[in-house]
């Protein structure tokens, strides 16, 4: 049977009946790549796999949750959908709403959204409202609108989003034949780490697979869970995880405790270095927030945390093409030459 999206693939694990009519862009089924070059470069004892969620239709993992949340919004006959976002949720909500013929509203922190993500929300036809505030302010406003109107919230506080996102764990277990020993993720609003853990636990209870340890990473200037304290003015180059008061804080702590995992920080420069390393060694261009999963992994490798028995999956949550500005700032500019064969050969330094 041709692949038909995460709802059809994992229907028995989702809160829908057989007659569900999925709103899908054929999300999911993303590559799980063994990162042998990266392993050698880092001299890592463990195996490393990268789950490249940037290969989803709108370029991030949000599509797995959005197909489920928008399908439910249509079933409930919601008037429209709304989300607060650091960019990817809004791109995904706008795309799935377009496919469903629903109006999407998105509330964004002004000036803090990567250019590609903003372009996506606009071209998919969402009504975009930028506020003078951060993501946490935007989510507060969205919650109030959800309470007062028939507009459906499609942030990850909507449980249908978590249901969809947990399917990434299923794919990983199916590809590896078992669970990894560790799973590393960037943490922003903390919905995704909550969803992965739910997925691993549900699969384990049905198929007796082992449970991995969950490893979460927050950016240094936006690390409320690490410090156990709301960050009033979160800052990081990884704008996707620029969040000071995560909605799924409690659930994330539960996932970390239950799995005997841990959460720690990655600095902006470690994040950007990891982003370039992943691109140069493995041929994958992910966005800065995504690279924090590998930046964190690198630290743990250096601390001697892993053994040869370990198999680590890092989720690369979003596509680097969404934020070309940040990526190009840290790399060498192109060489330039007159339109002459000799000059070009000279620059190539090849005889
Ligand atoms: N990576 C990327 C690329 C993201 O866009 C996000 C969250 C995360 C990681 C963190 O996931 O919030 O579930 O802990 N982006 C949200 C958004 C907040 O609005 O697009 P999380």
CATH number for the domain that contains residue 318: 3.40.50.1100
d(CA 55, CA 57): 7
Atom of ligand 1 nearest to the CA of 194: 13
Does any domain span residue 275?
yes
Inside any domain, residue 309: yes
Summarize pLDDT for 237-291 with one digit per residue, the tens: 999 999 999 999 999 999 999 999 999 999 999 999 999 999 999 999 999 999 9
| 89 and 237 assigned to the same domain | no
pTM: 0.98
pLDDT band at 350 (very low <50, low <70, confident <90, very high): confident
From 146, 162, 241, 160, select the one nearest 195 (Cα to Cα): 162
**Mutational test site, ligand 1, from 104, 252, 317, max ligand atoms within 8 Å of CB:** 317
Q: Tens digits of per-residue pLDDT, 106-140?
A: 999 999 999 999 999 999 999 999 999 999 999 99
Q: What's the whole-number mean pLDDT along residues 131-153?
A: 98
For the chain, the average pLDDT equals: 98
Q: What angle do CA 32, 61, 262 make, to 5 degrees?
A: 75
Structural domains of the chain, count: 2
Same domain, 117 and 261: no
- pLDDT above 90 for 351: no
Pocket test for ligand 1, best of 162, 192, 294, 314 (most atoms within 8 A of CB): 192
Among residues 125, 55, 113, which one has the least CA distance to residue 89?
Answer: 113
Does residue 297 sit in the same domain as residue 196? yes
Give percent of the chain above pLDDT 70: 100
Tokens of 310: 């370990």
Residues 24, 165: one domain? Answer: yes
Q: Are residues 73 and 175 in the same domain?
A: no
C-alpha 257 – ligand 1 centre gap (Å): 21
Residues 235 and 307 in one domain: yes
β-bridge partners, 152: 81
Provide the Cα torsion 24, 206, 314, 235; round to 10°: 70
Place of tokens 């709304």: 82
Q: Is the pLDDT of residue 330 over 90?
A: no
Range of the domain at 147: 62-158
Specify if 333 maps to a domain. no
């Amino acid at each position: 049977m041709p692949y038909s999206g995460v709802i059809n693939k994992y229907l028995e694990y989702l809160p829908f009946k057989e007659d569900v009519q999925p709103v899908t862009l054929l999300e999911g089924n993303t590559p799980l790549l063994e990162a042998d070059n990266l392993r050698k470069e880092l001299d890592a004892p463990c195996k490393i796999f990268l789950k490249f969620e940037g290969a989803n239709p709108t370029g991030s993992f949000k599509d797995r949750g959005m197909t489920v949340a928008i399908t439910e919004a249509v079933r409930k006959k919601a008037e429209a959908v709304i989300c607060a976002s650091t960019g990817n949720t809004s791109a995904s909500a706008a795309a799935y709403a377009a496919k469903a013929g629903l109006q999407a509203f998105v509330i964004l922190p002004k000036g803090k959204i990567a250019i590609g993500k903003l372009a996506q929300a606009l071209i998919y036809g969402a009504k975009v409202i930028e506020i003078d505030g951060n993501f946490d302010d935007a989510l507060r406003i969205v919650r109030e609108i959800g309470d007062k109107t028939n507009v459906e919230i499609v942030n990850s506080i909507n449980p249908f989003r978590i249901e969809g996102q947990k399917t990434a764990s299923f794919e990983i277990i199916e590809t590896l034949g078992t669970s990894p020993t560790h799973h590393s993720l960037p943490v922003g609003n903390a919905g995704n780490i909550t969803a992965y853990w739910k997925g691993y636990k549900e699969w384990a209870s049905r198929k007796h697979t082992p449970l991995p340890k969950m490893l979460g990473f927050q950016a240094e200037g936006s690390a409320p869970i690490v410090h156990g304290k709301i960050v009033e003015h979160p800052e990081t180059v990884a704008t996707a995880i620029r969040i000071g008061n995560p909605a799924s804080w409690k659930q994330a702590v539960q996932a970390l405790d239950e799995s005997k995992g841990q959460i720690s920080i990655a600095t902006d420069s470690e994040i950007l270095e990891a982003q370039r390393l992943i691109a140069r060694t493995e041929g994958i261009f992910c966005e800065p927030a995504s690279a924090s999963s590998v930046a964190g992994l690198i630290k743990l490798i250096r601390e001697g945390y892993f053994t040869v028995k370990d198999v680590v999956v890092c989720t690369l949550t979003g596509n680097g093409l969404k934020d070309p500005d940040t990526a190009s700032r840290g790399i060498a500019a192109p060489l330039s030459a007159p339109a002459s064969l000799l000059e070009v050969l000279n620059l190539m330094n090849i005889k």
